[in-house]
Amino acid sequence: MSKTGTDRPAAVLVAVQLATVADVDHEADMAELGRLVNTLGYDVVATVSQRRSHVSKGAVLGEGKLRVLAELTGGPGPAGMRFKKPGQKRDDEDEHDEAPESAPGDDEDMDEGAGVVPAAKAPTLVVVDHDLSPSQLRNLEKCTGIEVLDRSGVIIEIFHRHARSREARLEVEIARLNYVAPRMRESSGGGDRQRGRGAGESQLELDRRKIRDRIAELRKEIDGIQREQATRRALRQNARRVALVGYTNAGKSSLMRALTGSDVYVMDKLFATLDTTVRALYPEIKPRILVSDTVGFIKKLPHDLVASFRSTLDEALEASLLLYVADASDPTFRSQLDVTRSTLSEIGAEGVPYRLVLNKVDRIAEEDRTILQREFPEAILLSAKDAEDVARLRQILIDFFDALMVSGELVVPYAKQALVSEVYEHAKVLSETYDEAGAHLVLRAEPAALARLQSLLER
């Protein structure tokens, strides 16, 4: 549960419900946006939502709802929005500013409880559940008199705060720079032309060029890190690997901790962890099964972040088995599963074998569990908090990999006895006997592992 109180700043949520969006989906989107804002450290004190056929190009909402929003924030409202003269264009805009539109029923659609916020909880942030153009962002700030962020901006800021590894921090910085660059504004004196080297460029153009150069430097550094990671992954290439994938806050980290006995970071927040963690299944078996926890997915994830975290999601692409983890207690988990599948398809992992894990069943009634089991007969229903459920899942993983094994025999000469430990590391040895030729091992192993062990003996 998020911390609330007067010590936390307040925020107002803004959204347009388009005709193609059902009420339940709109409510789920707003609830998710509220959790994102809470993760960012704000209390949501009001929501301004409007049904419209389209998002206003000028300031998202119609004129009536803009007045409601301005009343909440103490801003000047549409009157505070200054629009350019016909034909005028600034260096920092990607489209023409447009006046707010009036839509039928603007005032009738006003949300209940959207009154004036008490002074002790006056909002300092407006968060919009849509991607904003630079002009929309500027107009809303003029209307409300406070800072405005869109959904992508909130997600990027959360990623920035939670990134821990060097690679994750670099990836997030690239996403932030790509987000900030088109939204940069010319300062009051920034229109002056530069003298000397770089003559003819405005300060804004110079700043944007610096951003492009910085992004190029970051990508070069990331390439070096990814080469090191590729080497580490190559060392794990013959390992049996399971990747936990799914929507953010579905309980992947809790399940990871339960399966591996590790101390991975667990918190009831969106994007509590961004870095891939790899641990061995516990209690450990031979050959080992490695479990990795990947970054969570979310609707409307900024494209730059999907691209930036491709290396993190490579763990899913290279896994032998994916566990699609979903929060069974969330009524929208079906659409969240669609997000998971589409994101995995985007990175080419749709062909990897998978099992569906419906987590947090301890939060739903018994009759609802029965309904889910009928709807998803192949799914594994469990609670990461239930030791018996976790043990059952562990055995399912072991059985999956055991089914891939084939029988084989190896003779390890006495001159190569050091390879015996290698065999035990990558195969299940059923018997071991000795004669004048060396060690005779009867075993079961996956075909690739058995072929590799045979090639080592033939060298």
Q: What is the pLDDT of residue 299?
A: 78
Q: What is the pLDDT of residue 265?
A: 47
Average pLDDT over residues 380-400: 96
Question: Would you say residue 274 has pLDDT above 60?
Answer: no
Q: What is the pLDDT of residues 212-229, one digit of tens each?
A: 899 899 989 888 877 776
Q: Which phi and psi (to 5°) does residue 57 adopt?
A: -70, -20
Q: What is the pLDDT of residue 348?
A: 79
**Of 300, 267, 287, nearest in space to 448 by CA:** 287
Residue 199 DSSP one-character state: T
Q: What is the pLDDT of residue 300?
A: 75
**Of 143, 139, 127, 151, nearest in space to 47 by CA:** 127
Q: What is the pLDDT of residues 52-80, one digit of tens each?
A: 999 998 999 999 999 999 999 999 988 76
- Percent of the chain at pLDDT exceeding 90: 44
State the Cα–Cα distance between residues 88 and 71, nearest whole angstrom.
30
Q: What is the pLDDT of residue 101?
A: 59
User: CA-CA-CA-CA torsion for 241, 303, 45, 120, nearest 10 degrees?
Assistant: 100
**Of 271, 212, 282, nearest in space to 246 by CA:** 271
**Of 136, 320, 359, nearest in space to 237 by CA:** 320
Question: Would you say residue 37 has pLDDT above 70?
Answer: yes
State the Cα–Cα distance between residues 354 and 104, nearest whole angstrom.
48
Q: What is the pLDDT of residues 349-376, one digit of tens each?
A: 888 899 999 999 999 999 999 999 999 9
Q: What is the pLDDT of residues 178-200, one digit of tens each?
A: 888 887 764 444 444 444 445 55
Q: What is the pLDDT of residue 344?
A: 84
Evaluate the omega torsion of the peptide bond into residue 123 and state whether it is cis, within 30 degrees of 0.
no
Question: Would you say residue 311 has pLDDT above 70?
Answer: no
State the Cα–Cα distance between residues 2 and 4, nearest whole angstrom.
6
Average pLDDT over residues 129-158: 91
Question: Is the pTM above the cut of 0.85?
Answer: no
Tokens of 227: 């080469």
What is the overall mean pLDDT for the chain? 81
Under the phi-then-psi rule, with left for phi > 0, alpha for psi from -120 to 50, and beta for the rest, what region is 145? left
Q: What is the pLDDT of residues 168-178, one digit of tens each?
A: 788 888 888 88
Tell me the three state secondary structure of residue 115.
coil
